Structure 1
Amino acid sequence: MPEALAKTYDPLGTETRWQRAWETQGAFHADPNAAGEPFALVIPPPNVTGSLHMGHAFNTALIDTIVRFQRLRGKNVLCLPGTDHASIAVQTILEKQLKAEGTSKELIGREAFLERAWAWKAESGGTIVSQLRRLGYSVDWQRQRFTLDAGCSAAVVEAFIRLHDQGLIYRGEYLVNWCPASGSAVSDLEVEMKEVDGFLWHFRYPLSSGSGFLEVATTRPETLLGDTGVAVNPNDSRYAALVGKTLTLPLVGREIPIVADEHVDPAFGTGCVKVTPAHDPNDFAIGKRHGLPLITVIAKDGTMNEAAAEFAGLDRFVARKAVVAEMEALGFLVKTEPYVHNVPYSDRGKVPVEPLLSTQWFIRTEPLAANCREAFEKVEPRFVPERWSKVYLDWLTNIRDWCISRQLWWGHRIPAWFVISETAGEITSNTPYVVASDHAEALQKAELQFGVGVALEQDPDVLDTWFSSGLWPFSTLGWPDSAAADLRRWYPTSLLVTGFDIIFFWVARMTMLAGAFTGQMPFKDVYIHGLVRDEQNRKMSKSAGNGIDPLLLIERYGADAVRFALVREVAGAGQDIRLDYNRKTDSSATVEAARNFANKLWNATRFALMNLDAETPQSLGNPDPEMLQQADRWILSRLARVNKESAEKYETYGLGEAAKVLYEFAWNEVCDWSIELLKRRLQDPAQQRTARQVLAKVLTELFVMLHPLMPHLTEELWHGLTGFPEQKLLALEPWPALDLQAIDLELEDNFAEMIELVRVARNLRATGGMKPAQKVSRLVITSARPELLKVLKLAIPDLAVLIKAELVEISTEMPEMPRSLMGISGTSQVQLQLPEQDLDALRSRLEKDLAKAEKDIAGLASRLANPNFADKAPAEVVFECRANLREAEAQADLARKRLGDLG
């Protein structure tokens, strides 16, 4: 038996109760042996250091909408959660803690540092997970993974060994992005380009022959100490005769050659470019082409090294000023000009990165990318929207080797052991090494190669976090165990949902690694979503101070309202969404509208419970087709069509469109019209049962269709309506069967026209100043369309109630009616007869309105006729005056028409 719902909806209490019920019952625990087509999604693992932000909330809302729908469709769904260990972020947190305690990681040692890291993870690392739970994430929490857990760690070691054995991982000295703050190489993803106001310094470099000089420009004067050449374009006639000659580098005295290289833009600056191969990736490439030496003048801590001579020991930015001052003193400075340019910053260290030569581990990406390009020809994976596939392909086509080592302690330690007994303990780029799964295996390999008694030392570096997360779609399913039940059942996964900003860095790395280890792309579809923007359409970020804390909105409006608001704003896949927010009150009109929608559904269900006489949809059963009234057939037709449309939208990732379809149907057609039309019949014993059956069926199926978007609310309302115990869950119910026979498009069209006619009649009532309970004497609707007339005639009892009319007439011709108001909708007309007393009051009001409008017209027309105003007043003032005149004329015409209709 259904239980009465509380008078008002309490989202927090409802959500807490159902989140607990779902998790207690293991509702979303996936069984690889269960029936149903497999559907798998492994969520993009948030950083273990993180807390919920609006980007997480948006991504979660999209993912959960999709997986809940697929569950309702009978799929065997696995939605697998987890977190990423976030090497740099965690290490930064811990090092700050140690510094505050007066110590450091070096002083306490690696083992103690890692113990502390794991303790921090146990205490603080679950924040983001608990916050994601607040959103009602229907994931398999029993399968929760962590990139440093035993299974993922074993997969990482296996992946490294296999790639190394295939010659795809190598060690060498190359230019990398170096973060002086964290003391580590960083990936491209961890580098953020920032536009800064800087300077462009122009310097003279004298020719060694003493016959003149070349002028070069730079934004980084401190690097000139490491210059090993100056490049010009081979087609630049200004410098053709100088190619091959040498310059004497100021401050250093080193002779450097002038080389010709296509990379140089002759139109930029003077057309001469200083070349510092050890401190710039473009210069590195030029230097490699021309055999220029690499001279490093900046140390890994951001200070100048001994190669910088008199500037050694200075911070790089202090050295910049010192170099400029010295160049000016010696007469080599030509000019200094302001210059706005992009500078790469370390995302975690918050300092400019330094391109530095460093011995690191790399992956040869071209063979892996080639596999992905081949799969791409077969549309594997498929991108939604399709335009992002070109971005993906471009990155795979123009790809550089991937630096995968990081100078950190928190992370997957590189499974390589240096044979230090062969090099007297000093590790260099040439030190021999062995790769193995553990020390014992490494020792066995080293002794076979170098003899018994070798001394080994494991590489202290860890792997780039993106290496382990690149294995995420299959390492979490049991790889490298090919017999793992989860891997066999759910791999390749069905879908990846992610933002466009990590297509290059994560999506492509997952496809490359999956292709190498599984021979398949890791997911069938990639759904790319946009960004959440603020009320001024700006990208949300902590640094801009315009981020919105979704937990504040959840506390105020509930998780379902936040979810629904976010998804409903999605105009299309890949599109950014805008979320209004009042920062003074922590309120959002968009989310408040979603909360109002929830209240509307709550009140509709309470109405149903009060009118079903303790019956349930199960006990009532389906209505007898022979007993259906016209309004029943209309709402059941709309129900079937919304079923079809919303399922198609969900299936094709048109989630925003699905939300809009269901919102319009629920609010306008079910609550505003169908329930109103049912009220009369729910009190009529002859029609009561059919009316109850229709109401119960519509609401029950609506809740199932809305469940992916508003899971807590619909679970609560469905249970309230059905009376099912908590152990039977809407979340695991089947999607409603589609009744194609119920769809009647002609009836829907005519019914929509009838609804518009009712709106016109209600507007006429308001124009006539009628009180809500007051009835009009006579209502006549005319139309030349026979099919509409048929619908209107059958609806006369409903029209009388909806418009509050004593007499309703449907005709092909409009009769003469005194004391009436007339309105038009399409090709149909509505005429409404007013009582005598209302007519007199209306006539008086209209006469006053007309007099005011005519007075306004005279004043505005006179003003515009005055040349001193029309020719000399500001254009916007004249424009506003003309607009006001047009509005006053329209008001006068309307008042005259109304008076004419009254006779």
Structure 2
Amino acid sequence: MSNALASSYDPTTFESRLYQEWENSGVFQPRGEGEPYVILLPPPNVTGTLHMGHAFQHTLMDSLVRYHRMRGYDTLWQMGTDHAGIATEMVVARNLGQQGLTRDGLGREGFIEKVWEWKQQSGNIIERQMRRLGTSGDWTRSVFTMDPMAADAVLEAFVKLHEQGLIYRGQRLVNWDPVLKTAISDLEVVNEEEDGHLWSISYPLADGSESLVVATTRPETMLGDTAVMVHPDDERYAHLIGKTVKLPLTDREIPVIADAYVDREFGTGVVKVTPAHDFNDYQVGQRHKLPMINIFTPDAVTNDNVPEQYRGLDRYVARKAVLADLEAAGLLVETKPHKLQVPRGDRTNQVIEPYLTDQWFVQMDGFAKRGLELVESGEVKFVPPNWINTYRHWMENIQDWCISRQLWWGHRIPAWYDEVGNIYVARNEVDALAQAAAKNGELKPTLRQDNDVLETWFSSALWPFSTLGWPNAELMQQRGFDKYVPSSVLVTGFDIIFFWVARMIMTTDHFTGRVPFKDVYITGLIRDAHGQKMSKSKGNVLDPIDIIDGISLEDLVAKRTTGLMKPQDAPKIEKATRKEFPEGIPAFGADALRFTISALAGHGRDIKFDLGRAEGYKNFCNKLWNASRFVLMNTEGANFNGAPQPQTDAERWILSRLAKVAAEAETHFASYRFDLLAQSLYEFAWNEFCDWFVELAKPALNGADRAAADSTRHTLLHVLETLLRLLHPLIPFVTEELWRSVAPKLGIVEATISLRPYPQAGDFAGQDFATAEADIEWLKAMVSALRRIRSELGVSPMKTVTLLLQGGSANDAARIERYAAQLKFLNRLDTIEAIATEPPPAAAGIVGDLKLFVPLAGLVDLDAERARLDKELKRVEGERAKSENKLASETFVQNAPAAVVEQERQRLADWTAQREALAAQRARL
């Protein structure tokens, strides 16, 4: 363990070195004894890089893990990455394109081989970045969702669910990306308001008696209409229900139906129904048993289900053709601008089509009922608890889960088809062949495997137990399944409560009979300093690694303007970036970023991230560094064992405050209040230890009392070492580096602070320093009052002054006598005198009932001081008059909120007290 400490704080010199030492030492691995404490890392995409959302959640997880590791728990932080089917296919396909190769040209096996090659070469960037942040997970147990162990779990889960009748194949409406040519989840759809049009179209009744006018934002889909719809209570159209209309531009007739889904107040109160191309219409179609007519191919080109003249057209070309023909036929009634929510795929930015296709589904009603029971009963707890309402809403309105994707990269669906379309779900092809042979009486039936893969949410839903060897009994024992399921807490965002949290609860219960985790801590969404969501298209993304290690302006501009979906946005983004970061982003270090995140982690939905806070917390780390250097310089050659036996009240005070902050830390960790934890530790470290105790220690260190000096040295080291342990889960790097210089002086033999016990309230049992704490708080108030006087007068710190005292209690008198030496040392006082008469011209202060006077003679220009006081009196009187006038207004007193009125009364009292104090001070001059 090194004793050397650099003269200045520079995180770049030790953060990476310390992380490598931690990982190599095995300190991140479970110790195998003690109560288990487990966190599952939400597996980030293997294609991805660390973004601010990751940094935020990983910091909180790491703080919890480090805290419990120090508490002696058998701590496991399960690492891993997700194979990210869509994202990975896109990345690899783009890379192949640069080599003149294509996905289809390589074929399925060749393409998958290329994906694995890419994964080995560059697919672990995010894990390296997580290490830079300080992530103390057990990397030796890291799981990739396509690893054999995880793949076995996926296979077994699919087959079991199918055997239980809970997985089926059927035709349903899904979100369809016409560029990727696959179904995608709701989470991968971004709905944005865009300018569009609302077209009103006339649908003539088949009997020629009249027409119905419908409005639509997608006129091309009318070619797939199978009904028009009115509200059953709409008297305007009651006589038409059951009749038919001629679908314009086609030779079909479609019925007029009634359904309460219709909003009678919107438009004409008549709605077209296209069940194969609208999710709401699909539900209507199911209720009324309407035909489902799909008019598009997988790449959003019109198919043979539309009239011949419209076939083979891109959807937007078809739209223009339909509108032109409607207008020519006199059926286009009106066109007007309209704001609409447009669903786009988050990967391709293409407009998503609701698309009717055959997919694999999990039947969810029974799962949802059980999943809701587990949360309602408290077996799984949400923090903050209000998120149970979101969970409940989703579970009570659940739809069957579409689990298939039209991709090649992923877990291929274990289903095989014979030549007549029979489906055989099996663990392998041999079993499927056996099933087919038994069914058809053939010795060697011909089968083809389903081309689809499972969506990534299916494999990640199994994460709590697939990472622990399920269903392989031997692996489950090796990896500690019985010990580590359920995990202690899941830290995740509110946006995936349904997509991931709920599904883990349901599948873990179904397959293992356990809940996956006891607590679900829901974090807010990281936004920029102005409250805007961070996105590449807005050019306001902050990269946590850039905050840690710094980035030049030119590199930052290049990063933000490269690869934009809309290249025309680049100049605007560049201009904004140059304005906001004219000198780039300096290196703040991982600790400053982590402490910023912790300080912002309140129980809210949105978190505004301001780099100014990171700068402030880098200064905090610097303050801690300099205070540690002061302690080390004043304890050279000193070595102590055990707890200090305080000789001075300053020592007793800081030890009392240390006990209280340790208790606060324990409370805040238990309630996941990282913001309150950071605030509590910051105030103790900066204000009470680095400022006050360091100052209060100086009289003892420089005094003649050898016992007090040695005791103070011991207490400085003891409190600093304890403080470093308190701070370590939040800022692990700087605390480790400082601790290695402090620990040897206290006879500590552990190699790392990570293995030291975390301070707890019980460590300070029997320590009652309440009297000393009250006395030192009084001394601090005295020192602060005198420093304020010196500051207002502009007196040089080196110049000695006289202190006159008047009034006060017997306790004040005793404290003056007791702390006279400290007051003189800390405030450069030459004498302290009690007076009973009117003081000479003096600057004044007050501590309780004790009045403080510093004579001005020889310190300041009395005329200038009178002028200053007159000016300040005028200002204070003006503010007092404003409050007085407000409170004299009946309108204000009667109409303003009670809290506002009370606040104004308090302001009046404060301004009045200030005026009286200033007037008295002015009178003395």
Shared fold (TM-score greater than 0.5)? yes
Pair 1:71–1:842, CA change in 2 (3 A): farther
Rounded Cα–Cα distance in structure 2 between residues aligned with 1:499 and 1:718: 34
Q: Match for residue 435 of structure 2? A: 445
SS of alignment partner, residue 687 of structure 1: helix
Rounded Cα–Cα distance in structure 2 between residues aligned with 1:852 and 1:59: 49
1:705-724 correspondence to structure 2 within 5 Å:
705-723=726-744
Pair 1:829–1:842, CA change in 2 (3 A): farther
**824, 833, 845: which one aligns with 1:823:** 845
Query: Is the deviation greater in 11-20 or in 703-712?
Result: 11-20
Rounded Cα–Cα distance in structure 2 between residues aligned with 1:709 and 1:855: 44
Query: Is the deviation greater in 94-103 or in 324-333?
Result: 94-103
What is the Cα deviation at residue 782 of structure 1?
A: 4.5
Alignment of 1:287 onto 2:300:
no
**619, 631, 640: which one aligns with 1:608:** 631
Rounded Cα–Cα distance in structure 2 between residues aligned with 1:409 and 1:15: 41
What is the Cα deviation at residue 102 of structure 1?
A: 3.6
Alignment of 1:573 onto 2:608:
no
**790, 793, 804: which one aligns with 1:765:** 790
**750, 754, 759: which one aligns with 1:736:** 759
* Structure 1 vs Structure 2 CA RMSD: 2.4
What is the Cα deviation at residue 848 of structure 1?
A: 6.3
Q: Match for residue 553 of structure 1? A: 547
Provide, for residues 382-424 of structure 1, a one-character-per-residue CA deviation record: whole Å limited to 9, x for no partner.
Answer: 000000011011111110000000000000000111123xx2x
Pair 1:345–1:263, CA change in 2 (3 A): same
What is the Cα deviation at residue 9 of structure 1?
A: 1.3
Query: Which amino acid is the alignment partner of residue 19 of structure 2?
Result: Q
**763, 771, 776: which one aligns with 2:801:** 776
**576, 597, 604: which one aligns with 2:620:** 597
Alignment of 1:349 onto 2:342:
no
Rounded Cα–Cα distance in structure 2 between residues aligned with 1:757 and 1:727: 42
Pair 1:743–1:325, CA change in 2 (3 A): farther
The answer to whether the 8 A contact 1:822-1:901 is kept is no
What is the Cα deviation at residue 725 of structure 1?
A: 9.4
Provide, for residues 138-184 of structure 1, a one-character-per-residue CA deviation record: whole Å limited to 9, x for no partner.
Answer: 10011111010111000000000110000000001111111101110
The answer to whether the 8 A contact 1:62-1:567 is kept is yes
The answer to whether the 8 A contact 1:750-1:788 is kept is no
Provide, for residues 620-672 of structure 1, a one-character-per-residue CA deviation record: whole Å limited to 9, x for no partner.
Answer: 43222xx5321111111000000111111012211111111000000000011
Query: Which amino acid is the alignment partner of residue 592 of structure 2?
Result: A
SS of alignment partner, residue 306 of structure 1: coil
Query: Which amino acid is the alignment partner of residue 344 of structure 2?
Result: Y
**243, 267, 270: which one aligns with 2:268:** 270
Query: Which amino acid is the alignment partner of residue 780 of structure 2?
Result: I
Structure 2: segments with no counterpart, 5+ residues:
550-586, 882-909
Alignment of 1:621 onto 2:612:
no
SS of alignment partner, residue 179 of structure 2: coil
SS of alignment partner, residue 305 of structure 2: helix
SS of alignment partner, residue 171 of structure 1: strand
TM-score by length of 2: 0.88
The answer to whether the 8 A contact 1:768-1:834 is kept is no
Pair 1:644–1:781, CA change in 2 (3 A): farther
The answer to whether the 8 A contact 1:383-1:528 is kept is yes
Q: Match for residue 571 of structure 2? A: none
Pair 1:271–1:726, CA change in 2 (3 A): farther
Q: Match for residue 18 of structure 2? A: 18
Query: Which amino acid is the alignment partner of residue 365 of structure 2?
Result: E
What is the Cα deviation at residue 213 of structure 1?
A: 0.4
What is the Cα deviation at residue 546 of structure 1?
A: 1.0
Alignment of 1:680 onto 2:699:
yes
Provide, for residues 330-378 of structure 1, a one-character-per-residue CA deviation record: whole Å limited to 9, x for no partner.
Answer: 1111111111121221122211111111011000011111111121221
Rounded Cα–Cα distance in structure 1 between residues aligned with 2:352 and 2:836: 81
The answer to whether the 8 A contact 1:474-1:491 is kept is yes
1:345-424 correspondence to structure 2 within 5 Å:
345-420=344-419, 423=420
The answer to whether the 8 A contact 1:560-1:711 is kept is yes
Query: Which amino acid is the alignment partner of residue 22 of structure 1?
Result: W
Rounded Cα–Cα distance in structure 2 between residues aligned with 1:821 and 1:515: 73
What is the Cα deviation at residue 246 of structure 1?
A: 0.4
Provide, for residues 426-481 of structure 1, a one-character-per-residue CA deviation record: whole Å limited to 9, x for no partner.
Answer: xxxxx211111121222222222222121111111000000001111111111113
What is the Cα deviation at residue 605 of structure 1?
A: 0.9
Rounded Cα–Cα distance in structure 1 between residues aligned with 2:695 and 2:877: 43
What is the Cα deviation at residue 814 of structure 1?
A: 6.0
Query: Is the deviation greater in 687-696 or in 201-210?
Result: 687-696
Query: Is the deviation greater in 160-169 or in 319-328?
Result: 319-328
Rounded Cα–Cα distance in structure 2 between residues aligned with 1:375 and 1:770: 68
Q: Match for residue 877 of structure 1? A: none
Query: Is the deviation greater in 433-442 or in 407-416?
Result: 433-442
What is the Cα deviation at residue 787 of structure 1?
A: 5.5
Query: Which amino acid is the alignment partner of residue 599 of structure 2?
Result: R
Q: Match for residue 505 of structure 1? A: 499
The answer to whether the 8 A contact 1:180-1:351 is kept is yes
Rounded Cα–Cα distance in structure 2 between residues aligned with 1:888 and 1:790: 32
Q: Match for residue 33 of structure 2? A: 35
Query: Is the deviation greater in 687-696 or in 110-119?
Result: 687-696
What is the Cα deviation at residue 726 of structure 1?
A: 9.6
The answer to whether the 8 A contact 2:228-2:255 is kept is yes
Alignment of 1:799 onto 2:823:
yes
SS of alignment partner, residue 445 of structure 2: coil
Rounded Cα–Cα distance in structure 1 between residues aligned with 2:594 and 2:384: 22
What is the Cα deviation at residue 547 of structure 1?
A: 1.0
The answer to whether the 8 A contact 1:850-1:891 is kept is no
SS of alignment partner, residue 646 of structure 1: helix
Structure 1: segments with no counterpart, 5+ residues:
424-430, 581-587, 862-886
Rounded Cα–Cα distance in structure 2 between residues aligned with 1:21 and 1:852: 59
What is the Cα deviation at residue 231 of structure 1?
A: 0.8
Provide, for residues 478-526 of structure 1, a one-character-per-residue CA deviation record: whole Å limited to 9, x for no partner.
Answer: 1113542421111111110001111111111111111211112200000
Query: Which amino acid is the alignment partner of residue 820 of structure 1?
Result: A
Alignment of 1:259 onto 2:257:
yes
Rounded Cα–Cα distance in structure 1 between residues aligned with 2:219 and 2:815: 83
The answer to whether the 8 A contact 2:189-2:346 is kept is yes
Rounded Cα–Cα distance in structure 1 between residues aligned with 2:871 and 2:20: 66
Query: Which amino acid is the alignment partner of residue 11 of structure 1?
Result: P
Query: Which amino acid is the alignment partner of residue 837 of structure 1?
Result: G
Alignment of 1:199 onto 2:197:
yes
The answer to whether the 8 A contact 2:839-2:924 is kept is no
**673, 681, 688: which one aligns with 1:654:** 673
Query: Is the deviation greater in 628-637 or in 796-805?
Result: 796-805
What is the Cα deviation at residue 228 of structure 1?
A: 0.5
- Tell me the percent identity: 45
Pair 1:674–1:849, CA change in 2 (3 A): closer
Query: How many residue pairs align between the two structures?
Result: 847
Query: Which amino acid is the alignment partner of residue 25 of structure 1?
Result: S
What is the Cα deviation at residue 899 of structure 1?
A: 3.2
